[in-house]
C-alpha cells in the first residue's frame, strides 16, 4: 500500500509540474519573484504600522509545536543557531528531550494540542519558566488520507484532524495571548499549507483544516493589528518530510533544508510579509486569483482517479 501511495504521489507531482510548464509557465519562469501584482497578493506587506520596530533575528524566546520532526524540528535548529532560546513541544517526550539535549538553551516540553487541559498546562508552565516568550509557531499537525464512505472510521479521522490542525492552534493562541500582549514585540506564526488553497481530495479534512487555519490567521491578524503582536502564516508546498509515509523519499517534492532557508529569507525581510509563501507554493496560493484553480485542482488530483 505504501509503495502504491508513493507512486501516486510521484505521478501526481510530475503532472503538477507539467501544469506549471503549460498553464502556469509564467510562475515557473519566476515572474512572481520580480515584483508582479500576483506576487504582491501572495506576499502582502506586513499589516503592522510603519513605526513598529522589526522583530530582531536573535534574542527571542520561541515556542514551536510539532517540534520533534519535520518543519518544526528544522525551524527549531535553525532559529536556535541564530542565538534564540527555543522551546520545542510535541507529544513524544523522549524524542523531544533527545533533540533538546544536543543544543544549549533548547528546551523540551510535552503537549497534546488536541487536549484543552494539556494546552493550558503548557501555557502556564512556559510563562513560569520562560517569561520572555515572545514568538509562537503553531506548527503541530497531522495528514492522513480519508475515504468518506468509511463511516464512523472516517468521522473519527476527521475529528482528529480538526482537533490537531485547527482547534490546536486556536487553543494555544488563546492560552498565550494575554502573555504575548504584554511583550514589547511578539509574533504568532500559524502553519497552513499550499493545500489550503487548492486541496488534494484524498485528504479532505486535512485540506479543510488548513483552509481554516488560513482564514483564522487573517481574522486574528486583523483583530491584533493595533497590538505589538505580528501574525504570520506559513504555507508550505509538498516537502520531503514524513508528514505522510514515504513522503521524504519523493524527489519531486521540495527538500526541507531548501524550504527552511527560503522561509528564513522571508523572515529577514523588513517588513516581514504576512504570508510566508515560498516560490514552490505560489502555484497553489495564486491559483484562484489567476483564474486557474480548476486546472490546478485537476492536476493535483488526477493521479487519484
Is residue 302 in a domain?
Answer: no
Structural domain contains residue 197: yes
Q: What is the pLDDT of residue 305?
A: 64
- Give the predicted TM-score (pTM) of the model: 0.84
Domain annotation covers residue 216 = yes
**What pairs with residue 187 in β-bridges?**
135, 230
> Active site includes 206?
yes
pLDDT per residue as tens digits for the range 259-271: 999 999 999 999 9
Number of domains into which the chain is organized: 1
Task: Tell me whether residue 206 is in a domain.
Answer: yes
CB burial readout 126-160, b (16+ within 10 A) else e? bbeebeebbbbbbbbbbbeebeeeeeeeeeebbee
User: What is the reported pLDDT for 97?
Assistant: 95
Domain that holds residue 127: 47-279
**CB within 8 Å of 15: residues ≥ 6 apart:** 299, 302, 303
Identify the segments of the chain with pLDDT beneath 70. 1-53, 305
Tell me, what's the pLDDT at 174? Answer: 98
CA distances from 114 to 105, 169, 172 (A): 27, 9, 10
In a domain, 29, yes or no: no
CATH label of the domain that carries residue 268: 3.40.50.720
Which secondary structure element, helix H or strand E, spans residue 189, and what is its range?
Answer: strand 186-191
234-253 exposure pattern, b = at least 16 Cβ within 10 A, e = fewer? bbbbbbbbebbeebeebeeb
Strands ordered across the beta sheet of 275-276: 106-110, 85-90, 61-65, 135-138, 186-191, 229-234, 275-276
Is residue 95 situated within a structural domain? yes
* pLDDT score for 52: 58
pLDDT, position 303:
73
12 is a domain residue: no
pLDDT in tens, 22-70: 333 322 322 222 223 333 344 444 444 434 567 899 999 999 999 999 9
Q: One of 31, 117, 206, 216 is an active-site residue; which one?
A: 206
Amino acid 12: pLDDT: 44
125 assigned to some structural domain: yes
Per DSSP, what are the bridge partners of residue 186? 229
Separation CA 93–CA 63 (nearest Å)? 15
Please give the pLDDT value at position 48: 41
Amino acid at each position: 500500500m505504501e509503495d502504491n501511495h508513493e507512486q501516486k504521489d510521484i505521478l501526481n507531482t510530475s503532472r503538477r509540474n507539467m501544469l506549471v510548464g503549460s498553464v502556469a509557465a509564467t510562475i515557473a519562469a519566476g515572474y512572481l519573484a520580480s515584483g508582479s501584482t500576483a506576487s504582491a497578493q501572495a506576499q502582502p506587506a506586513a499589516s503592522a504600522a510603519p513605526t513598529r520596530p522589526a522583530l530582531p533575528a536573535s534574542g527571542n524566546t520561541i515556542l514551536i509545536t510539532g517540534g520533534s520532526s519535520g518543519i518544526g524540528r528544522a525551524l527549531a535548529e535553525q532559529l536556535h543557531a541564530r542565538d534564540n532560546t527555543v522551546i520545542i513541544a510535541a507529544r513524544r517526550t523522549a524524542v523531544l528531550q533527545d533533540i533538546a539535549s544536543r543544543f544549549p538553551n533548547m528546551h523540551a516540553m510535552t503537549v497534546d494540542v488536541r487536549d484543552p487541559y494539556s494546552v493550558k498546562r503548557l501555557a502556564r508552565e512556559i510563562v513560569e519558566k520562560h517569561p520572555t516568550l515572545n514568538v509562537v509557531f503553531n506548527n503541530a499537525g497531522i495528514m492522513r488520507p480519508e475515504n468518506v464512505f468509511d463511516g464512523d472510521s472516517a468521522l473519527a479521522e476527521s475529528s482528529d484532524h480538526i482537533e490537531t490542525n485547527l482547534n490546536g492552534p486556536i487553543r494555544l493562541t488563546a492560552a498565550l495571548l494575554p502573555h504575548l500582549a504584554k511583550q514589547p514585540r511578539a509574533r504568532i506564526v500559524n502553519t497552513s499549507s499550499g493545500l489550503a488553497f487548492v486541496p488534494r481530495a484524498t485528504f479532505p479534512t486535512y485540506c479543510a483544516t488548513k483552509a481554516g487555519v488560513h482564514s483564522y490567521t487573517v481574522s486574528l491578524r486583523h483583530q491584533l493589528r493595533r497590538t505589538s503582536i505580528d501574525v504570520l502564516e506559513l504555507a508550505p508546498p509538498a516537502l520531503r518530510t514524513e508528514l505522510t509515509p514515504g513522503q521524504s523519499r519523493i524527489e519531486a517534492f521540495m527538500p526541507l533544508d531548501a524550504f527552511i532557508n527560503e522561509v528564513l529569507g522571508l523572515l529577514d525581510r523588513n517588513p516581514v510579509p504576512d504570508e510566508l509563501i515560498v516560490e514552490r507554493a505560489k502555484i497553489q496560493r495564486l491559483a484562484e486569483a489567476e483564474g486557474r484553480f480548476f486546472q490546478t485542482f485537476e492536476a493535483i488530483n488526477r493521479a487519484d482517479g
